[in-house]
Each structure stands twice: as C-alpha cells, then as structure tokens.
Amino acid sequence: SSKSRSAVYSSPPPSISTTTATTNNNGSPPSSTFPSSDIFDATTTLTNYDQSQQTYIQSDGSQGMGGGLSALNHIQSLDPTTRTSLQHAIKTLTRQAHSERAIDSSKGRIMLGICAANAPEALGGLKSWVAELSLPRGMLHGMDVDGIPIPVEELGSVYVKYSTGGAMTFSEMRKSGRGFDALWRPGDALLEMYDGDFRGVYFSVELGDGVFRQFGVLPTDLFMEEEEDW
C-alpha cells in the first residue's frame, strides 16, 4: 500500500455487496441451472441463521450499538452442530462461485467483511476463511500511511473488506487517494478503523442466478484451524 486514509465505520458496517436480485419478465430468476437443491439448501441454512440471530438480538435486549453485543452473544452460544452446518453451507456456495469464476473471471465474486476488536483477530479470521475456502490471496492495504507502518496497537477495532475480484467504485478510489492503484485485484483486502460493536464476518457471494446473498455476522473463528502469515 502506498497510501492509506483511514475511515471510521459505524455499526453496522457498510454493505459489502451491491448485488441486487434480478428476474425476467415472468418474475422468475434468469434462465440457468439454479436453484439446485444444494444451493437452495445452503442458502436456506444461512438465511435461517440470520433470522435466528435477529430473533436472539431482540430477545437479548439488543445490547451494544445496533445490537452488536447481542449478536456476539448469539455467536458464542452456537453449538458444534450449527457451526458445522454453517461451514457446509458456506463451502457449498463457494464451490459454485469457484465453478462460475473458472468459466468467466468476472463471475462468482465472493466478498468478506470482518469486524474485529483488533487487527490480529481480524487478520487471523481472514487467513482462516481464505485458506479453508481456497480463495485467492492478494495485497492487504490500510496498515500504513505514506509507506510508514501503523503500529497494530494503535489501530483498535477494525473492519477488513476482502474481495475475490472486481473494482472499487470511483468514490472509493478517490477516497483511497491511490487512483487506479486502488482497483481491486483478486484476493485484495482493505483494513479500516471501525467504531461499532459487531464482531464477526459478513459473507457475500454473487452467483449466476442473480439472487442477493449476503449473510452475517458469522463467527470469525468458524474456519480457524491453522496459523500462518498473511
């Protein structure tokens, strides 16, 4: 990274996906092989998870900014069976995205948005998700200003935005101060300051059926199995 301009995100963080559901003239999804039973089941599992989290947040008194602390309480209450079902659902959607991306590199985009109490926690989660899902690894931006590293202890809570591909918007490019160097390359990630209470991962996947799929917050340590340097 040649230059970083820190932006502080409030809670909840900004949407990591701009995908919108599309339909044809009769109101059905665009012509494709979707939805297969596996894709449907995986989407349903993650949708039900989101709904259960929202219900928990309300029953827990919506603690923290936007209910962020209650969302963390929900994550910490998950049993092993639920965590396994979440892993399976995410891997199923990711495999489909990989298949589409293999045919057309502009398709099958996957994005992660990670809210964490500190940079090591965020990067540890990012590394585990990227490794387990066989996602591309690119550059990490945002941990320096004009080439001078920012001490990790000075970062505080952070938000990491990761993408398997696709460009930043022009407004994001201007904000970064890096011009066309700010274009997202496969596996690039951007670390920003974050002042909210949510902790976890937002998972977004764009598939050929045009259905909007963004889920979270999911456990940061859902795929935490090994330690390695970014």
**Coil, strand or helix at 72:** helix
- Can you give the pLDDT at residue 16? 55
pTM of the model: 0.80
pLDDT at 96 over 70: yes
- The string over 35-54, giving b where at least 16 C-beta atoms fall within 10 Å of a residue's C-beta and e elsewhere, is beeebeebbebbeebeeebe
pLDDT at 17 over 70: no
CA separation, residue 82 to residues 33, 52, 74, 77, 79 (Å): 28, 11, 12, 10, 5
Judged by average pLDDT, the poorest of 59-73, 166-180, 192-206 is 166-180
What band does 9 get if pLDDT is binned at 50, 70 and 90? very low
Token reading at 184 = 């997202």
Average pLDDT over residues 164-191: 69
pLDDT of residue 153: 73
On the question of pLDDT at 33 being above 60, the answer is no
Q: Check whether 108 has a pLDDT greater than 60.
A: yes
pLDDT for residue 77 is more than 90:
yes
pLDDT band at 47 (very low <50, low <70, confident <90, very high): very high
